[in-house]
Structure 1
């Protein structure tokens, strides 16, 4: 039986949220979308300005992700036409590679008749990325705490607390994850380890019970943000001062340069927007400031009859 054409839509994600380094993230509704049509030969069609420089052949990252699903299922990947679109800005700390990876593995699994369970898809994608903090929320939506070790990939998914919204500052410059990881120290003190563990635990607990008042304190981090701050002009100011303009907490989004602020959806965000634009202006930067809900659907597959 031939698989019908289908669409896969995977959301962007924001990882770490301060102290949850490589283990905590959430999804936001900016999407990478694949339109997959089984046919006699494989055809890769990137669309849009964001993907103009990406390969239009089997070396494309999306197609390589589809092959990961086939390898895990120990099957050959059937040929198809794969049209790729994305709203996720590349190299900005919003999980563009994770959205592409998850979309590709899910599409490959769909093309094969779904031999892999969701947990298999998570494990494949987390091991490919090296950490689960982006791929888990991209796959499941919401807020996800996840671990990756030799025994497997394990996660807890949380629905967002009521009235919790996200404001993101997306600068117009790119910052590669490899460059952002290169500035991190190889070793940390016991005090920094205790600080990270206690604050990550408090952050997860606060999000799970809706204690929005604790987010500002729980999102403090000494593991990666202080080291990456020189790569993102204005980051230190935002982490220190954003709460004065309505932010419930602030963090570097993933490896950056995007910065995420939580806000209470019952309160106006104009003062926060004005503050964030002011930070960009003072540092000679341009970019966008967006209010977004937390996406709760995760990756969605739609079959076409």
Structure 2
């Protein structure tokens, strides 16, 4: 009989996961980009059963601090799938990714948990990229946010008969991003509920062409970003629930800037062909918007999620 593997008390892991922005205009539920804004997580094995979470930063005093925490649930899911009993855990989450703003906070939480579990199970169970994406998609429901969070860069994600897939691409060095984050949140479920079950044939063709062009613009020809980020598939349908977002996008695009809804919103993403466009976008927002928007000047993250294992030190 094989003994049940146990993880020594004191074993610890450190995890770092980037924010993500999905859709990028026309690439609905398909394209995603990792950004240089990070949630960090420290997890250590303790003797007592159960989970205790300390949240610092975004979500402090708001998100659960027990087993119902999304990060904790994600860790538990991986342990269950691996067939290994989950030990008692002490967790410290240092969060910088805004919640419910279209920057992949739930995907980052899920990926944080999966990567923490991967580190804790190091030497017991091995996880390849395919398995990591499958686990994350099981929990998130779709791979467009979790793929760039896991692998970094620009990702194309799709679901085949045998599960979720992704292709990582390296964005052109001239591509720079600024995200305008509003004070108000937006429910992803509400945003998705505004999406129609079908769209006109010509709109579908329009988005197919723009999605193909967007990949070329992001990888090779950033000067095409304005045309490449046009969309007829989802943003207009959600505009009624995000009037200020829609107004800001229209204003920025009228000045030649590639502005789109970041994920499900309500944040606005501007993809610049050079860093100066970010500064111009920030000036335009300050001059033309009556609302308060936090401007986050971000780079493309190329590494994706990382985990470092801190094994128990054994004294002589």
1:295–1:57 Cα change, 3 Å:
same
Query: Aligned to 1:21, what secondary structure does the other structure show?
Result: coil
1:22 alignment partner in structure 2: 29
1:232 equivalenced with 2:247 (yes/no): no
Instruction: Pick from 274, 294, 302 the counterpart of residue 265 of structure 1.
Output: 274
Decide which structure has the larger Cα Rg and report it: 2
Question: Pairwise mapping of residues 182-201 of structure 1 onto structure 2 (< 5 A)?
Answer: 182-201=193-212
**Structure 1 residue 62: deviation in Å?**
0.7
RMSD: 1.9
Question: Pairwise mapping of residues 63-212 of structure 1 onto structure 2 (< 5 A)?
Answer: 63-113=72-122, 114-208=125-219, 210-212=220-222
**Structure 1 residue 86: deviation in Å?**
0.5
Q: Distance in 1 between matches of 2:163 and 2:46?
A: 35
Q: Distance in 2 between matches of 1:149 and 1:280?
A: 43
Q: Distance in 2 between matches of 1:232 and 1:187?
A: 21
Instruction: Pick from 292, 295, 305 the counterpart of residue 299 of structure 1.
Output: 305
Instruction: Pick from 46, 60, 65 the counterpart of residue 54 of structure 2.
Output: 46
Instruction: Pick from 16, 21, 25 the counterpart of residue 9 of structure 1.
Output: 16
**Structure 1 residue 125: deviation in Å?**
0.9
Q: Distance in 2 between matches of 1:103 and 1:179?
A: 25
**Structure 1 residue 222: deviation in Å?**
0.9
**Structure 1 residue 291: deviation in Å?**
1.2
Given that 1:77 and 1:108 are in contact with CA atoms closer than 8 Å, whether structure 2 keeps it comes out as no
Given that 1:73 and 1:116 are in contact with CA atoms closer than 8 Å, whether structure 2 keeps it comes out as no
Deviation string 1:5-34 (CA, Å, 9 cap, x unpaired) is 120111110000011111111011211111
Q: Distance in 2 between matches of 1:49 and 1:270?
A: 27
Question: Pairwise mapping of residues 274-285 of structure 1 onto structure 2 (< 5 A)?
Answer: 274-281=283-290, 285=291
**Structure 1 residue 243: deviation in Å?**
4.4
Q: TM-score, normalised on structure 1?
A: 0.92
Please identify runs of 4+ aligned residues in structure 1 that moved more than 4 A: 243-246
**Structure 1 residue 101: deviation in Å?**
0.4
2:228 alignment partner in structure 1: 218
Q: Unaligned regions of 5+ residues in structure 1, if any?
A: none
Q: Distance in 2 between matches of 1:164 and 1:239?
A: 18
Given that 1:77 and 1:111 are in contact with CA atoms closer than 8 Å, whether structure 2 keeps it comes out as no
Aligned pair count? 300
Further displaced range: 40-49 or 18-27: 40-49
Query: Aligned to 1:174, what secondary structure does the other structure show?
Result: coil
Q: Distance in 2 between matches of 1:68 and 1:193?
A: 37
Given that 2:178 and 2:297 are in contact with CA atoms closer than 8 Å, whether structure 1 keeps it comes out as yes
Instruction: Pick from 39, 47, 67 the counterpart of residue 58 of structure 1.
Output: 67
Given that 2:177 and 2:278 are in contact with CA atoms closer than 8 Å, whether structure 1 keeps it comes out as no
Q: Unaligned regions of 5+ residues in structure 2, if any?
A: 1-6, 312-316
Deviation string 1:159-211 (CA, Å, 9 cap, x unpaired) is 12011110110001000101111111111121121112221122123323x21
Query: Aligned to 2:107, what secondary structure does the other structure show?
Result: helix
Given that 2:57 and 2:95 are in contact with CA atoms closer than 8 Å, whether structure 1 keeps it comes out as no
Q: Distance in 1 between matches of 2:97 and 2:275?
A: 27
